[in-house]
Amino acid sequence: MGQRATGGEHRFQVGVRVNAKALQKLRVIGTSMGIDDEIKELTLALAKSATRPALPFEIDERVEEGFPGSKLGGSPLMPPGAEWPIDGKGRPLALLAQIDCVDLALLAGFPRSGILQLFVSGYSIEWGLDGAGTYDAQDGFRVLYWPAGAGPLVPADAPAGTEKHLPFRPTGCFPLRFADHASMQPMTACDWRFDRLFVETWDRLVPGEPLAARRRGPYDLPVFWHAFDYAEDLFVTDIGEVCPPPGLRDQVGGWPAFEQVDPRAWPDAERLRRYDTVLFQLGSSAGCRASPCVEWGDGGVGVFLINGDDLRRLDFSRVMYYWDCG
């Protein structure tokens, strides 16, 4: 959730804790099956498995459009005379976010200099989401990167008539303040790989009740799905007191948060599974009691994913963009 930094103080209390209610429900299952100790081990094993560093950020109060650092909205820094990004219909896109990569120095594999920019379509409430399901065509969105030392960058004005209907209000420029340390984040249960991780971990720790051998399809093992539902909420990553499970939501790096389904899990989406790294993720605000109010539909999350090797090569030509809501 977007938190507002005040007075220049940025207090991120980031850490993983166990959701006591979900753990209790898992233990009820364990008691009914006579595997209390195994459930305890499962809890610890999942918390330690597949962790990744994630860097959370806060959203500050509105400033001038030309603010040069990391921000939501505003005017992007671009080389003089650079072409403004357009969608597949030739219409200018709007700046969703700009990141000064100096802010990402704590994340291995991410650029430590240069300017990264994420543009989306402001012409409908789909915000450039590809309805055809490709999600990486960069038709309704664009990702630009300007390396440091390549020449001067100046605030660029959007072309006349650019629609700036973005998933936050009011419109304007809002600085992003990144945490001064990264959090090790366990795999989120909504990630397409969590199913396999859960089954493999369970079968290793509870060999007398194997799941993989008994599960013929994704929904035919009631014990598994009851346990899986509780495991989804098992780990809460705290940022202050506001971040709900399953993850950080407003972050770079770590694991993605999807409100309904990870599109990479669909049977015909194998090609999307190359996108394995969270380039940028922005969640909806809680209650919209502060400015700006971020709203991806009904409490959704927007995420940009990139292949880790492409990221290390600073190749942003292939990026997956997706958002969904409850």
Cα distance between residue 240 and residue 39, in whole Å? 28
DSSP 270: G
∠ Cα 252 45 196 (to 5°): 75
Look up residue 245 and give its DSSP letter. T
- For domain 14-324, the CATH superfamily is YwqG-like (2.30.320.10)
pLDDT at 142: 97
pLDDT per residue as tens digits for the range 243-279: 333 345 899 999 998 888 899 988 889 999 999 999 9
Q: Can you tell me the distance from the alpha carbon of 234 to that of 30, in angstroms, rounded to the nearest whole number? A: 15
**How much is the pLDDT for 299?**
86
Low-confidence ranges of the chain (pLDDT < 70): 1-40, 43-44, 47, 208-248, 286-290
Give me the pLDDT at residue 29, please: 58
Number of C-alpha atoms within 13 angstroms, CB side, residue 314?
Answer: 13
Does the predicted model carry a pTM greater than 0.85?
no
State whether residue 301 is helix, strand or coil. strand
